[in-house]
Amino acid sequence: MITRYLSLLLLALPFAAFAQFNEDFSGSFSSPHEWDGTTSYFEINAAAQLQSNGPKASSKIFLQTYSNALVQATWSFWVQMNFTSSTTNYTKIFLASSSTDLLDPQLEAYYVKVGGLSGNKDGIDLYYQKGSSQTLVAKGIEGHAGGASVTARIKVERDDKGNWEVYADTLGGTQFQLEGSGTHTAVFTPQAFGFLCIHSSTRRNGFFFDEVSIDGEVEDAQPPQLISQAYQSDSSAWLLQFDEVIDPLSVPLFTQTNHDPLPLIFFWANSSALWVKDTTNFLKEGTLLHGWLLGIRDRSGNSAPVPLSLMKPKPVAKGDVVINELLFNPFPYGQDFVELYNCSSAYVALNQLQLQNQDKENVMLDSLVLAPGSYVVLTKDSNAITEFYPRAARHTFVSCDLPAFPDDHGSVVLQDQQGAMIDHINYNQSMHNPLLENQEGVSLERTNANASSDWLANWQSASTSSGGATPGYVNSQAGASAAGGTLSIEPRSISPGTDGYRNYANIHYTLPKPGTSVRMDIFSLQGHWICSLQPSGPADMQGLCTWNGTDTNLQPVSTGLYLLVAEFSHPDGDHLKIKDTISVLLR
How does residue 10 score in pLDDT terms, banded at 50, 70 and 90? very low
Cα–Cα dist 461/328, whole Å: 12
Per-residue pLDDT at 182 exceeds 50: yes
Amino acid at 575: H
**Dihedral of CA 426/428/434/439: which sign?**
positive
Q: Pairing state of beta strands 397-399 and 375-379?
A: parallel
Q: Is the pLDDT of residue 385 over 60?
A: yes
Distance CA 555, CA 535 (A): 19
pLDDT of residue 224: 92
Topology given in CATH for the domain delimited by 226-312: Immunoglobulin-like (2.60.40)
pLDDT in tens, 240-286: 999 888 888 899 999 987 778 888 999 999 888 999 999 888 889 99
CATH architecture of 315-461: Sandwich (2.60)
- CATH pick for 2-219 out of 2.60.120.200, 1.10.8.50, 3.10.20.30, 3.40.50.620: 2.60.120.200
Contacts of 347 (CB under 8 A, 6+ apart): 286, 287, 288, 311, 312, 313, 314, 369, 370, 371, 372
Higher-confidence residue of 365 and 156: namely: 156
Predicted local confidence at residue 137, as pLDDT: 98
φ/ψ (deg, to 5) at 383: -65, -35
CATH class for the domain made up of 486-584 = mainly beta
Domains 315-461 and 486-584 share a fold: yes
pTM over 0.85: no
Quick one: pLDDT band at residue 483, thresholds 50, 70, 90? low
Q: What share of the chain has pLDDT > 90, as a percent?
A: 60
Domain range annotation of the chain: 2-219, 226-312, 315-461, 486-584
Contact at 8 Å (CB) between 410 and 358? Answer: yes
**Residue 255 to residue 260: CA distance in whole angstroms:** 6
pLDDT of residue 32: 66
Return the pLDDT at 79.
Answer: 98
Using only C-alpha atoms, what is the Rg of the chain? 35
Mean pLDDT of 11-38: 70
Look at residue 447 and tell me whether its pLDDT is greater than 70. yes
What does the pLDDT look like over 87-122, one tens digit per residue? 999 999 999 999 999 999 999 999 999 999 887 889
Distance CA 2, CA 23 (A): 4
DSSP string, 499-564: SSSS-SEEEEEE-SSTT-EEEEEEEETT--EEEEEE-SSB--SEEEEEE-SB-TTSPBPPSEEEEE
Task: Tell me what the pLDDT averaged over the chain comes to.
Answer: 88
pLDDT-derived band at 198 (thresholds 50, 70, 90) equals very high
Nearest one of 65, 31, 24 to 48, comparing CA atoms: 24
